[in-house]
Amino acid sequence: MRRASESGAVDAASEPEGQLNLEVGAHTACMLSSSRAQMWVSDTSPQIEFMIFAVRLRYKYRVYPTPPQQESLTRAFGCARVVFNDGLRLRQETHTAGSRYISDGDLSKQVITQAKKTEERAWLGEVSAVVLQQALADLNVAYRNFFASVSGKRKGRKVAAPRFRSRKDNRQAIRFTANARFKVLDNGRLRLPKIGDVRVAWSRELPAPPSSVTIVRDAAGRFFASFVVDALNEPLPETSSEVGIDLGLTHFAVLSDSTKVTAPQFLRNAARKLRKLQQDLSRKTKGSNRRKKAVAKVARAHAKVTDTRRDWQHKLSTMIIRDNQAVFVEDLCVAGLARTRLAKSVHDAGWAQFTAMLEYKASRHGRTFGRVDRWFPSTRTCSACGQINGKMPLGLRAWTCPCGAVHDRDVNAAINILAAGRAERLNDRGARVRPAAMPAPRGETVIHPGAAQFTRSVEGIPTISSGGERQSQRKVLAATVPATSPTSPMIARCLQSGAVPSHAW
């Protein structure tokens, strides 16, 4: 596949995986297309020099396997699940016995290579070996994430230990990498090892050859093919517009330019149909075929709500990214809000999915995306004078500031989010947005003089990491103060005593 532009072309099909060559006129450069790669082009003259970034994307398509192919896929799902559970069980038994942690290589030998030679697991050879290896790779990643979360290296919510997979899970998936030699044929079908040529509904072309493909079966019984590709970024023409977004429930998004987007409430609109399907399901006998059909109907109804919401959010996020150079949103605690009495409406809104779309689309199209601190009082702050007022009930949609300005609650919050985002973005070199508190004199503190101190480094100013380094830098800075300056003796004394940090001077 070739990607042409005014200045040249990128040829991705003729190069080995993980490496692309860029030709711009008579100049050539190389890009290692990993998860986050960079590619640069430079001329012998310093005038021509720019950078192009690559991003790893996932493209999802609906596939329609034949009944025999569905049986083969179901068999592959089961084999991958058994290998995953065998590996998890073996590691749990090893941990209980107090033995050493089994390495990834030894685990693969025991649950795949040696298991195939036994009579109980001989049927593992009926599926591609790559599928089984990728199932163990998922287990290893799950353990690494768990250990990183326990040790504190992984930020965010705590990650639980891996759990056993079940045949009753709503989502079943297997992954084929380049070693499996899967291939997209000229007739549009997807050739999978030991599965066959599967028909794919191509809604759009792949921007580059895929590095892996995941076959997924959801709760509604639908099959999908998810391709991972390394594609080049597509910067959009620059625009002067910037926007702040206040997310809500009555209005899904309120922009700083007073634009209000009404919340579609897809789940509540489908509640009547879902209630009827759930009532029909409750009347069916457990274990019967009619109950299975009723379960599939409920799953298809929920899938329709999910797909409709995702499609609507994709369109809205694309429009916002296309029309604005910078987008700022509030960093909401969705998990916390989902535990309140508004849980159903919060889940129906899908704020986390929408902000994730904005973030990756802004990164790919050369836009700026920022999150404002969730504790920032965007609603209570007057966008005209900056005064922070008292708490406001949710029913209060408009309020008047003592300065005389009348504000719409959501529009005012969006304007404040835009202002806070601009403040953070314009200080992108690490400088403080707001002035730091004046530290107490060294004699009034209980901090050891040699204790480490975290200080944000700014370009041209080294980070101060220890007490000895701070003492030496203060002496240097005190010596560099001009003697003719009327305030130089005071500054020198403050620097030597530690009352004013050197980076503040």
- Active-site positions read 246, 330, 410
Best CA proximity match to 134, nearest among 63, 228, 48, 218: 228
Buried b (16+ CB within 10 A) or exposed e, 307-335: eebeebbeebbeebbeebbbbbbbebebe
Best CA proximity match to 445, nearest among 505, 499, 503: 499
Distances (CA, A) of 13 to 179, 209, 240, 244, 473: 17, 7, 37, 41, 55
Other CB atoms closer than 10 Å to residue 351's CB: what's the count?
Answer: 20
CA distance 9 to 25: 9
Write the DSSP string, 454-486: ----BTTBPPP-SHHHHHHHHHHHHHHS-TT-T
- The two three-digit tokens of residue 451, written as one number: 């204790």
According to DSSP, the β-strands at 368-372 and 251-255 are unpaired
Please give, one letter per residue, the 3-state secondary structure of 281-310. HHCCCCCCHHHHHHHHHHHHHHHHHHHHHH
Phi-psi region of 352 (alpha: psi -120 to 50; beta: other; left: phi over 0): alpha
- The two three-digit tokens of residue 333, written as one number: 């605690």
Please give, one letter per residue, the 3-state secondary structure of 145-161. HHHHHHHCCCCCCCCCC
Type of residue numbered 411: V
Instruction: Say which DSSP state 167 is in.
Output: T
Break the chain down into helix, strand, coil percent, rounded to 5. 40, 20, 40
CA distance 373 to 430: 16
- The two three-digit tokens of residue 218, written as one number: 């959801």
Burial class (CB in 10 A: 0-12, 13-18, 19+), 373: exposed
What CA dihedral angle connects 128, 132, 134 and 139, to 10 degrees? Answer: 170
CA 486 remoteness from chain centre:
54
CA distance 290 to 296: 10
What CA dihedral angle connects 458, 463, 464 and 466, to 10 degrees? Answer: 160
Asked whether the beta carbons of 231 and 3 are under 8 A apart, the reply is no
Distances (CA, A) of 19 to 3, 24, 46: 15, 16, 25
